[in-house]
Structure 1
Amino acid sequence: MGTEQRSWNTAAALTEDGERGAPASAVRGEEEEEDEAEHVADAVAGSSEVPTSSISIETSLPQEHMKPGIVELCKDLFNKWSSLDDTNFLIEKVSGGITNLLLKVSVREDKETTCLTVRLYGPNTDIVINRERELKAIRYLSAAGFGAKLLGIFGNGMVQSFIEARTLSPEDMSKPQLVAKIARELRKFHQVVISGSKEPQLWNDICKFLDKAVSLKFSDNVKQEKFETISFEEIHGEIAKLKDLTERLNAPVVFCHNDLLSGNLMLSEDEEKLYLIDFEYGSYNYRGYDIGNHFNEFAGLECDYSLYPDKDVQYLFFKNYLQFDKAEVSDEDLEALYVETNTFMLASHIYWAIWALIQAYASPIEFDYLGYFFLRFDEYKKQRDRCFALARGYLSARG
């Protein structure tokens, strides 16, 4: 591929291809309606100061070698533990995904034990995650009852309350009772008001990722050869066509989780309380994108898209989602959300495909990110014609 194919300005190119942007009147209308809610949210979210520390933890160390740094961090953030002996602190690994490392810290005081979660950001993840946006959102989401409570911030991570619950598996997400529960919880999540701009971030983030990805150069010759088989002109063209189509659907813009995979869902032992956790990709975005991305995650990291939910499962989800504020959910309501979701589902494949290219270059974690790009982009192309026809047919029938 020639150099000229890898050097355009993505945002400008998309504008040339017919960018419409979110309807200004719709955004203004939402802001007027949400003014009071936003003021209340501001007051609650800013009601308490979160302690901070300049300490950073070296994530490449073996867990046993991390303990002195974790103990020092806890004592620095929480003065009441400053005189405790180091033996009062127990460190356990909760999970190590492809982005962050989670540690459970149990602190023993007299007859009580307090448990915390220390989340260590993966190296170089600030390239794909807006940490300022994340920290701002967490305060509002926590005030609204979502996720773990933010207890402290440090150099390369945060400390949160520990949630006593089990993490879901991809197989769990297709169980009817959980499909309904997740739908209702996501609808409540979409009601949260975060102060500031309500502009949807999907295409902005994709453009930023793509501008970074086109100029990557791998030191590993095998990776570089594989990378050079990618046509960024093709990707750009697909983004422009999909963006144009999705904008015609006029999908509602809400605050979205944007990464609702099984690992970010937890269920209490009595199976009564469902937790949505880890909001690092959260932003204002299109409703259908958040739901479509969730449906893609039924496939798990192995990308087994035979597990993508069928229409019956999707309609069960939609009914529970829409019944939050509707006594009756019509067939027209269900069809509209079905079309919206299954069109934006394509954008999820493009987003994570380009994200994977940047991670393939920047992340030290042992994961085949480059292979993941091809899995996601190939699935996009496999589903594209069907989903485009679905959306165009729906729009045509409605004039």
Structure 2
Amino acid sequence: MSLTIQTYLADMPAGFWFFASFCISFLVAAIAYPAIIYVAYRKDIMAVPSSRSAHTKKVPNLGGVGIFMGVFFVLAMIGGCLGLSDLMFLMAGLIILFFLGVKDDLVILTAGKKFGSQILVSLMIIVLMDIRIHSFGGVFGLHDLSYLPSVSFTVFVFVLLINAYNLIDGIDGLAGSVGLLSSLTFGVFFVSIGLMEPALVSFALVGALVPFLYYNFSGKKKMFMGDTGTMIVGFLLAYLCVAFIGINQNLTVPETLGNSAILGIAFVFYPLMDTLRVFVVRAFQGKSPFTADKNHIHHRLLNLGLNHTQSTIFIVLCSMVLGVLAFYTQELNINLQAILVIACGMLLFLFPYCFERREGKVYFLKHYRSRIFDISN
């Protein structure tokens, strides 16, 4: 690239690059998805429904390939134009997770290999990019972390979010919509304080998820994200969440948010809450926490008579309410805000368990006999 072109591109306003990251990712992914669906049908690379599936037909499950292509193309092209060398580490991590995910979608990987690779990729980002959680911000009396505890805790957060995101991918639109809402929220924040690299990642992810949701909700051209997609999106959301918390804990950065830890939790509360609840239920049942079942919150909503779209909308709206609550209560004492956000989040996401469905009718609580509403039609 000539010096003249480099100089011209460097002078482009930041808003241009944010918009370009969305548009380029959108176009690359939108072009890739039909080709992926075609190849999946020709080569029979499909998700076969099981006893716990919410679907009854085989569906292509390599949507994550399109998400990877959209995001990776943006990071490579725009990162190269702007000389954002740190994005190279993120790209390296994406490549590892991409091949890991594709192999898992095709032949199934052991849990040990998946966890080991996730820890390795997380360490790459945390150590080489110095993206980590420096402090608990005074939540419940916990403050600054020294380097090794900070790195260890941040690795735990990365691996937890990657796998929590994987676990919520059970109905149409849910994983994509939660990812879209979270990445868009983070992106708006990064733009507001002028941080180029995480903002580009945010809008590249939004651009790849928008066309994916079209196919994920489609009746005739349906495709799933697969483990490739859930690991890549979960990894990118973990990066954005940790970057959001870490940047707000940096006292040299202007316009930071003092309650970044609480806001970060609010933005990813649903996958964390669902994972925690499912693991507790399985533990009480004497099962491995990684045993597949139908105990997720979205399964409960389906049992109450909601369809996939309605269940997804309910969960996304709850996530939005929690995010707004966390944002508008940031003037409160940090511990009070933590209790308020966590309590409200638990009430919202456990609300469906206050109802039961019998013979096409939904009743409030197990022993409450008055009909709440009739969904028999």
Task: Verify same fold: TM over 0.5.
Answer: no
Larger radius of gyration: 1
Structure 1 or 2: larger helix share? 2
Higher fraction of strand: 1
TM-score, with length taken from structure 2: 0.30
